[in-house]
């Protein structure tokens, strides 16, 4: 809260009348300084009408924004992000290294919605610390409102994943293996599925699985369902019994 302004004390005319009017203004300023409003909202007293609340919106709806995804929201396809200034100072002779002189706003001031995750809607497909160009379409109703930014960022048709065997059995001369896997995002931060079978057909016989940690495979989405296509399994050269 700001310190209150001191009244003007006048000891002779004609300053008494002038001081009276000035002190009325000072009283109004001191009264308004005690009003608090959060979330980018300003508050001011209106004579005879209580308090007026005004929502600050520095950026008009419909404007393009540059955002950097910094965290995952609990809702699928939704991300927390920083807005970056459009004042780029890059040079044509240097290789692209974002943010290329753009200024980080320094706080999580955007909620990013990826339209291309509307169908899978099961997880988060975009990587952290990635930059995107989006459209400002509104503001959240949080205590401190954030800009709501729509983006349309595609993920690869086939993308790398981390895998960890979590079930199944090895194959035999008369049956293929049935190993299943926990599937994680490539950086290991997101669980995409558990007890996931391998969609790619296996031959009969023993299969050698990856023992490295982390181990990697390839997957894709079909109609919102995760399909694990390759887990790095290879047929064993040892005869099955």
**What global pTM score does this model have?**
0.52
Mean pLDDT confidence for 47-53: 53
Give the residue from 175, 169, 179 showing the smallest Cα distance to 240. 175
57: phi then psi, degrees, rounded to nearest 5: -135, 100
d(CA 212, CA 196): 19
Q: Which of 145-159, 193-207, 217-231 has the highest mean pLDDT?
A: 193-207
Mean pLDDT of the chain: 81
Q: What is the pLDDT of residue 30?
A: 62
């Amino acid at each position: 809260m700001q310190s209150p302004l001191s009244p003007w004390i006048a000891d002779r005319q004609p300053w008494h009348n002038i001081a009276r009017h000035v002190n009325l203004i000072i009283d109004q300023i001191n009264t308004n300084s005690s009003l608090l409003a959060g979330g980018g909202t300003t508050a001011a007293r209106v004579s005879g009408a209580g308090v007026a609340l005004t929502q600050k919106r520095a950026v008009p709806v419909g404007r393009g924004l540059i955002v950097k995804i910094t965290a995952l929201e609990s809702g699928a396809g939704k991300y927390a992000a920083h807005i970056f200034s459009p004042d780029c100072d890059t040079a044509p002779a240097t290789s692209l290294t974002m943010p290329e002189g753009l200024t980080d706003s320094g706080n999580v001031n955007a909620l990013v919605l990826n339209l291309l995750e509307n169908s899978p809607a099961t997880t988060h497909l975009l990587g952290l610390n990635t930059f995107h160009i989006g459209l400002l379409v509104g503001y959240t109703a949080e205590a401190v409102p954030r800009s709501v930014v729509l983006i349309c960022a595609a993920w690869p048709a086939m993308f790398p994943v981390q895998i960890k065997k979590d079930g199944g059995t090895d194959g035999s001369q008369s049956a293929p293996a049935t190993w299943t896997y926990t599937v994680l995002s490539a950086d290991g931060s997101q669980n995409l599925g558990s007890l996931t079978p391998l969609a790619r057909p296996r031959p009969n016989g023993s299969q050698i699985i990856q023992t490295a940690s982390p181990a990697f495979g390839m997957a894709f989405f079909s109609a919102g369902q995760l399909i694990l296509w390759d887990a790095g399994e290879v047929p064993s050269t040892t005869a099955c019994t």
